[in-house]
Structure 1
């Protein structure tokens, strides 16, 4: 494996891997931490990582962080996912924190970025029943009123809102009107008039309702009913929410790619261990050419994905204000597809044992299946990549 890590980064990767092995290395430990897979996040374990300073790896020093690189962030996420540490809050938290760091007020930055270092979790809410991949179609409304903003509407698929401290809400604050018809109704300018808001998760007027999924308690519907936010709840500039969202795509897609890189490697390792030990017809099943060639292909795909993730991470570190829509989308697309392939192939090679809940492979499958949907579906990633070639 060639990743050109510094000595410090190699030590960091080793330390995270050792921590996960110690704290969540057995099935019994993980079942206890995650209530047999029903929860994706264990706050006690997350607090331990906060105490070690890892959650603030990329947070500026002025907020208590280590002011590390995007490469450092990817190392943490890869190793935590590979170690199957139930810290499901970390991805959405880092995605949300990046937006506050770029656009938040001094007060918002202090609360949120300092909170990340201390072990708090955050969530970002964009999707609605009629606005998934088409985020610009959202209709959850924020109306300016005396003393603040009144929020009404429904959001959906909001990851981790049920244990988040704050939610970064994207809502509509305006529509362009001409001749009595909005530009949005004519299919124009639908990304205009979107604004980001800082929302305490326990605020009056917000009802958080979990959505049952294959992965357990992960996502939620949010119902806003005359939810009054203070006037200073706007994050960034009113009406510029879409442009602000676009600046965070590098980090969001790298976060998802790095986590799936770790999951792919763990699924591969679990498969390799099983087919090395499992015997049929008097020999380990992994020695049969049909499986040996599959393993070779999967190992090659994972290594290609690893090189891509850290290449894009270094590009972002070297050009922090530049967008990399093609490269970031490629990373998200490649690693989520690779992780899904590795898990499904692993299940096939393990046979019935891969399907049994006694083993972790069925969880790898469930985890990776949704990865090609969240954070922008892989169909959308392919569309973005295609557009960068002028298509």
Structure 2
């Protein structure tokens, strides 16, 4: 089983204690999320920031905790397991890692200081005709005097409606292959020429369309090197997929715990329904899958800490695939085992199921993850 140092164990317990105090009841969570309509509570997240958790993987020189991937995964797993409504944490930590690697000194310090204080960030890649095939994007940035003029549409941009800024991937050159001529730009959310329009989903308003109309940004807004956007994106996949996996591990554990409590308490035919073999065996299978997933998450996290410059396409895709499929299976089965109560909003089962199912789509669909894994075996 996964073993932590005493310090890591204390850290995990501190997160649990904080969440029990701040969001330990449905009433407290509803008060922070407009009765569940909002996925992110800025108030709660900034309280976490005061404890140093929002900047968990930000270097100490920028005010962060300077922790590794293992500690980052502990934070994400425990926060999600304890139902902290901090839906912006995943995109923020993913985006912050890109600024830490590639932004110029002034921009890096400014953005990362905001992350440490609890600011939310977004990253924008997808377009109406460029989802899994990110290299097909057409949103363009044209060089003009003193900067860049951006035109085009982006879609499925998580949390842009309350983020401080957006890391945009746009096309700056069409002369080469589809993975060439892409560049990352820092776009403050209030930049003139940018319109943010929400998309209604099963989870409420979590994602957005972005429309750029002659949107000007200065040369200093370039993050990294002009034309190297694809390489920069690929270099962040270890972190991105670990973040998604750790969060879904926490969600799967929440679903398991809630389902176990329900089937232990709920009685039919004169006995707890969990005592029937059909349910008991299902829970045994899910417990095993969650334990395997946890081993994989922290194995990959430790490998990423030991070899920070190493690309791990196979392992990163495996951990994202395994964690999201595990959480999807657990939450769907959890709803089934709870019967009608699993479908009722009185319980959290239906919300957990929605959060698990979409996880198999964002961050690279699980079909894409399987394709990547297959290619690493020469297939």
Match of 2:67, SS state, is coil
The residue that corresponds to 1:243 in the other structure is: 231
The residue that corresponds to 1:266 in the other structure is: 254
* TM-score where L is the length of structure 2: 0.99
* TM-score where L is the length of structure 1: 0.96
Shift of residue 238 of structure 1? 0.2
Match of 1:155, SS state, is strand
Shift of residue 55 of structure 1? 1.2
Q: Which has the higher mean CA deviation after the structures are superposed, 68-77 or 29-38?
A: 29-38
Q: Is the 8 A contact 1:167 1:201 kept in 2?
A: yes
Shift of residue 50 of structure 1? 0.5
The residue that corresponds to 2:364 in the other structure is: 376
Q: Is the 8 A contact 1:71 1:314 kept in 2?
A: yes
Match of 1:207, SS state, is strand
Q: Quick check: 1:14 aligned with 2:13?
A: yes
Whole-Å separation in 2 of the counterparts to 1:207 and 1:270: 40
Q: Quick check: 1:94 aligned with 2:82?
A: no
Whole-Å separation in 1 of the counterparts to 2:313 and 2:10: 31
Whole-Å separation in 2 of the counterparts to 1:28 and 1:80: 18
Shift of residue 163 of structure 1? 0.6
Mapping of residues 208-247 of structure 1, within 5 Å: 208-247=196-235
The residue that corresponds to 2:149 in the other structure is: 150
Q: Deviations over 1:174-218 (max 9, x none)?
A: 011xxxxxx5xxxxx111100000100111000000000001110
Whole-Å separation in 1 of the counterparts to 2:65 and 2:152: 38
Whole-Å separation in 1 of the counterparts to 2:16 and 2:156: 30
Q: Deviations over 1:8-42 (max 9, x none)?
A: 10000000011111111111111111112211110
Q: Is the 8 A contact 1:37 1:216 kept in 2?
A: no
Moved over 3 A (4+): none
Shift of residue 65 of structure 1? 1.0
Q: Which has the higher mean CA deviation after the structures are superposed, 133-142 or 104-113?
A: 104-113
The residue that corresponds to 1:59 in the other structure is: 58
Whole-Å separation in 1 of the counterparts to 2:69 and 2:339: 38
Shift of residue 147 of structure 1? 1.8
The residue that corresponds to 2:107 in the other structure is: 108
Match of 1:129, SS state, is coil
Match of 1:53, SS state, is coil
Q: Deviations over 1:20-74 (max 9, x none)?
A: 1111111111111111221111010011000011111211111111111100000
Q: Quick check: 1:310 aligned with 2:298?
A: yes
Whole-Å separation in 1 of the counterparts to 2:248 and 2:270: 35
Q: Is the 8 A contact 1:258 1:309 kept in 2?
A: yes
Number of residue pairs matched?
Answer: 379
Mapping of residues 319-358 of structure 1, within 5 Å: 319-358=307-346
The equivalent position to 1:191 in structure 2, one of 154, 164, 179, is 179
The residue that corresponds to 2:281 in the other structure is: 293
Shift of residue 289 of structure 1? 0.4
Q: Quick check: 1:72 aligned with 2:60?
A: no
Q: Deviations over 1:239-292 (max 9, x none)?
A: 000000000000000000000000000000000000000000000000000000
Match of 1:158, SS state, is strand
